[in-house]
Amino acid sequence: MPTVEDVVRLLGGAEAAANRCGVGTEAIRKWRQAHAIPPRHWPAVIAATGLSLSDMPGAPPAVGAAPPPAATAVETPPMPETDADAVPEGATAALVLGDGSVFWGRGFGAKRTTVGEVCFNTGMTGYQETLTDPSYAGQIITFTFPHVGNVGANPEDMEAASPAALGLVVKQDVTEPANWRATRHLDDWLKSHDLPGLAGVDTRALTMLIRDGGPPHGVLCHPADGRFDLPALRARAKEWPGLEGMDLAREVSCRQSYRWDETTWAWGRGFGKQDAPRRRVVAVDYGAKRNILRSLADTGMDVTVVPATATAEEILRHGPDGVFLSNGPGDPAATGEYAVPAIRGVLDKGVPVFGICLGHQLLALALGAKTYKLKMGHRGANQPVKDLATGRVEITSQNHGFAVDDKSLPDGVEVTHVSLFDGSNEGIACKDRPAFSVQYHPEASPGPSDSGHLFHRFADLIEREKGE
């Protein structure tokens, strides 16, 4: 059996071992003193070294195995190099990162291989809403909450017609559903949408890697034949171009305009219907979640959805009392090539505008500001945001890898909200025209409803502009 020293050497030394396992170097010293590695760190060590469970210092010996020899003062000879690319026993899938790291585990869902940006989501609920959020296009999601799959899947929790994410990574195996709303097993649902999953991964270690180094490029491989060409997978991950410069809104947007009248879900009723709208709103679909459209309908809006590529003329042709700019994936600067001229055309007509997420970033670009890529991004349903006007702190749901650069905002545009995690911009408003936006998701699904009042703020803005 390898010693602790052998394992630390394979991990690249004490500091590298500490970073890999999400601990300090003091913990590595204690490993050496105890001549054992705590079981909670075994998955990370196995993923990084290719060792098996039985190789872990401190693991109980197999039944029938000979007892270890008595300790002597003789120095243990160096252990021969272990093939780090060997497939661990029981592994049927892997996440291969651009830096060469491999996280082995058990595959579920569809048997296929995908490549994209690996991010983490800190939400404790709503994995189905998250997977179907079009903002996650181009991304493989690591869920930090361990119990994924326990509520199954159902048609009501779909935020789009199909998942936008490229795959998911979880800690524990997907369980049987235990929820009265479930209509199918998550594994079955994933297979029906050709979406692969990876279980058995130390998601804390992976999350720390992402947190410290930023979201890496990765390949999630769940092969039907059980074979892993690691050099090819590493090359594919390394060569993936990344989300900067990538326009994904065009891919997830609707192809033609349509009407929306469904309202939000309520206990004992399900979804309602808006049959007495007061105002007309055009929602530009850069990757719109369904609950956004429901929230607009809730406030008395007759909602018409148009494609991301719609021009100002095509938007205004519907005679809107207000224009909504939706969430969406990808680089706002790339999407802005066609979205910014359209938004400017709407602003020039004095039509009230409300944007969220990508729509917030595109409004900022249309006003003359700039955007940049965040180191980690904000993804989860526990993000604190401060309203600078009221001092109120709201817990919000977020999913974005880009942000508006406060310093680039022109005169006449003010910062309205900031993140209490990193101080990045979370909202803007125009002083001289009826337009505002927020970076987060007031429609939730999943997440808290602290910010649902913003849809009513939009409705009130429309009424004021109408003079009523």
Tokens coding 419: 């993140």
**Number of domains into which the chain is organized:** 3
Longest dimension (CA), the chain: 91
Percent of the chain exceeding pLDDT 70 equals: 94
Q: Apex CA 370: angle with CA 367 and CA 374, to 5°?
A: 135
Do 357 and 211 belong together in one domain?
no
Cα–Cα distance, 27 to 33 (Å, whole number): 10
Predicted confidence at residue 23, as pLDDT, reads 76
Does one domain contain both 194 and 105? yes
pLDDT in tens, 127-165: 999 999 999 999 999 999 988 999 999 999 999 999 999
Q: What is the CA angle 284-335-318, rounded to 5?
A: 20
CA distance 240 to 336: 22
pTM of the model: 0.82
Both 274 and 235 in one domain: the answer is no
Q: Which of 239, 269, 303 is the last residue of a domain?
A: 239
List beta partners, residue 404: 371
Q: Residue 64 falls within a domain, yes or no?
A: no
Residue at 377 is within a domain: yes
Look at residue 217 and tell me if it is in a domain: yes
In terms of domains, do 232 and 360 share one?
no
Helix (H) or strand (E) holding 251, with range, is: helix 249-252
Each residue of 234-268: pLDDT tens digit? 999 999 999 999 999 999 999 999 999 999 999 88
Q: Does the pLDDT value for residue 64 go beyond 50?
A: no
- Beta strand segments in 87-207, E: 93-97, 102-109, 113-121, 139-143, 167-169, 196-199
- Domain closes at, from 212, 239, 266: 239
Residue 229: inside a domain: yes
Residue 254 bears catalytic tag:
no
39 falls within a domain = yes
Q: Are residues 165 and 30 in the same domain?
A: no
Residues 219 and 257 in one domain: no
244 within domain boundaries: no
Q: Is 441 assigned a catalytic role?
A: yes
- Do 398 and 425 meet the contact criterion of CB atoms below 8 Å apart? no
136 lies in which domain range?
93-239
Per-residue tokens: 467: 């003079």
- Tell me the C-alpha distance between 417 and 429, whole Å: 10
Coil/strand/helix, residue 103: strand
Strand pairing partners for 199?
Answer: 106
Q: Is residue 82 part of a domain?
A: no
| Active-site position among 217, 357, 360, 378 | 357
pLDDT in tens, 174-216: 989 999 999 999 999 999 999 999 999 999 999 999 998 999 9
